[in-house]
Structure 1
Amino acid sequence: MQRLERTRSGRRTEAQHGLSARELRETLDEVGICTWSLDPANGRVAISENCHAILGVSARRLTDHDAFQAVVHPEDRAGRAAAVRGALEHGGRYNIEYRVCQADGAIRWVRSHGRAELGRGTRPTRFRGIVYCIDAHRRAEARLQRLQADLIHVSRLSAMGEMASALAHELNQPLGAISNYTTACDHFLSEPGNEQIEAARSALAAAARQAQRAGGIIRRLRDFVTRGETDRRSESVAGLLEDACDLALVGSRAQGVETRIDPGPPGIRVLADRVQIQQVLVNLIRNACEAMRDSACRNLAIVAAAQDDGSVCISVSDTGPGVAEAVAESLFLPFVTTKSTGMGVGLSVSRSIVQAHGGTFRVDSPATGGATFHFTLPAAED
């Protein structure tokens, strides 16, 4: 009997120290959390009065599921309806983010959590949860993404600045050839005759090819430095490597760099933003060429291979001095560089790009010497 009294006394003490229903409502109102419940039997909704501050609609209007759906942004209605339906059919938790359209025209992001309880059999008996505003969080995320995009763009411009001399030399070759061919045409056409006309046509055709070559270099430069929105799509690995190498290997032959490119199995593709992944490749290839500047053997290998986990691994290997273990630990930190010039953001930005694509980025020093940088990208479905 005494144990029962102590238990009852303990329960009374616990109730005295707990929050009352009124205090709980006031606390939720203060922190901006709206509570809701749905009766699965008739579809009726009960929602706390503070929903107006979060959803922009009074509780009197949100009487059923359809009324609630009406305040959801049109683009998000199907996703929310599917989440609610899934919770009601299978039980368990419900967690989704969506936008709501308020009466004044403002659009606000909210997050909703809920839980459906199943009774005997498979019919749900209770479905309730909370809604709260995450608009400030979403704005902060968007601002961070803009800042990251700015840094990525600055990194591309920095890479182009470092390559400016070699690119100017590369462009000067086709432009000089065009000048020579057009001078030859003028000479051939100064003495009319079938042979001279055919020679002029041949020179003009050669000039056109050189113009296309110069135009291709300029196009790749323009695409590389143009600032645009992230656009991930199915991309050919062979195409990515070809375009990146056309930029990054400018002047490498004059430095005695021997390059081997293996794009992997024919038709292999990845889901990627083409310009951003080219930026990663250009940075790694240029770093490799620079690392081999004082090496007697200058072999560069760029290899792609499909992985068992549904990703594609791209590796860039050089025969330079390698990466010391002490340096490797801080190599990917922003503004850390082993170059005498440069911003020190190339590898940091490259890793950020790869991780944003859902891939991994690492470096190792093979026993044979040099360094190998590996990064993975999700394979694109056929």
Structure 2
Amino acid sequence: MTRDDLLHLNSLFRDEELQRGIDESGVGIWDLDLSTWKLFWSGPTRRLFGVPENTPVSYDLFLSLLQPEDRARTESAIQRAIETGCRFDIQYRLRGTPEGSRWVRARGGLVINDDGVPRRLSGVMLDVDDQKLIEEALLAREDHLRSILDTIPDAMIVIDDHGIMQHFSTAAERLFGHSEHDAIGRNVSILMPEPDSGLHDSYLARYKSTGERHIIGIGRIVTGKRRDGATFPMHLSVGEMHSGGKRHFTGFVRDLTEHQQTQAKLQELQSELIHMSRLSAMGEMASTLAHELNQPLTAISNYMKGSRRLLAASTDPNVARIETALDRAADQAIRAGQIIRRLRDFVSRRESEKRVESLTKLMEEAGALGLAGVREQNVMLRLELDAKCDRVLVDRVQIQQVLVNLFRNALEAMAESPKRELVAASRRASDEMVELSIADTGHGFSEAAAANLFKTFFTTKETGMGVGLSISRSIVEAHGGRMWAETNDSGGATFRLTLPIASTEDLPDVV
């Protein structure tokens, strides 16, 4: 060993108490002589590598104790430190230790002699296995959290207080068309059309200066912009959080395109149902009026004809004019009866567009229409439908008109009930018919009302016309079924109706 080597080692260990303290702390010391490539390890370093005190150490031994995949980058880091004088800091895994593979961190620096020539590379060795285990656990949790977030159908975007995107979920990639790589680091305003795109930074600045919330914690329907420039309606909910002393905002975005299309379809169906309801009501009234008015109109015509015969013996000079007036009045009475009959025939001749339909789908759509806007009333709808008799041969609009009317009647009947439960069920009534029932927990009906429920113009409502149930029964009977009502065990009403099950030859028509 040269004199310089002894001086260097003496300088490393001149303070025995300090060295003892370092050894007790588990921090190892290492020294590599660049002229001879001799390696020195302190006791803690030997223990980290699992090398006994009496075993000579060398640079080659050091490399052989590393995992094969870590050797090349370790040699490269040492060479770079020697050539550039940069600090040496690298982590690698050991193999062949009693505890198995473990992580070690080596830190050091270049020692240069008086002539400016690199003399040795010295430093410390740290056991970072526990730290690595914690890091791996954190990475695993992060990956697990990311996998969970990736399954959320709503897009999630995290921005800093300058509007720069920090996180862009998989759902956001699908929704907006931007990749995570392209989105992160860019201003979130690229996801908005004008004027919001140009004003978003001012929105953030206003919130930071005033604290006044316009959307944070509230949620709002806004317009988003996809990568191709297309816009779409979306619901945006924003939350605020603080991490690392910095403020961040997390936005959850739900695409409302399909929702609005569904709403438009339901509104179209509702308009069609209202139109059909009016036509049906008109037909019921026309039929009733024809029945009720034909008799008195015929009597009026007969009285006028009789009056004309009585005038035949009169010598009054105005007899001719009176006879003419009576003839015209009788003709108008007959014409009135014909108009009513033609009106009744017109509205009753509408051909039903019967097709094979899914009873489940009919019930779900009718429920969406009939129960629209009643979430706050705490009404629970339960469907108990028999899948074995789901296909029926019906006019979709007419049957939905019946179901919507029954749902609406049930809601009104349960308005004051503490329990508001609506059960729509189906079961096979025969080989050809399926029976539907809609039961509520409302006030029910009296025996006197039960006898008149389906009569035209009979109603228990203050503002009702009394044609809904009458029209419904007519529609069901036109389908070859029947409709009736009964009181159920809860004291509410149960309305039942039968419809024809689609035959086997009709099934190919199902869309």
Query: Rg: which structure is higher?
Result: 2
- Structure showing greater relative contact order (alpha-carbon pairs closer than 8 Å, 6 or more residues apart): 1
TM-score (norm 2): 0.36
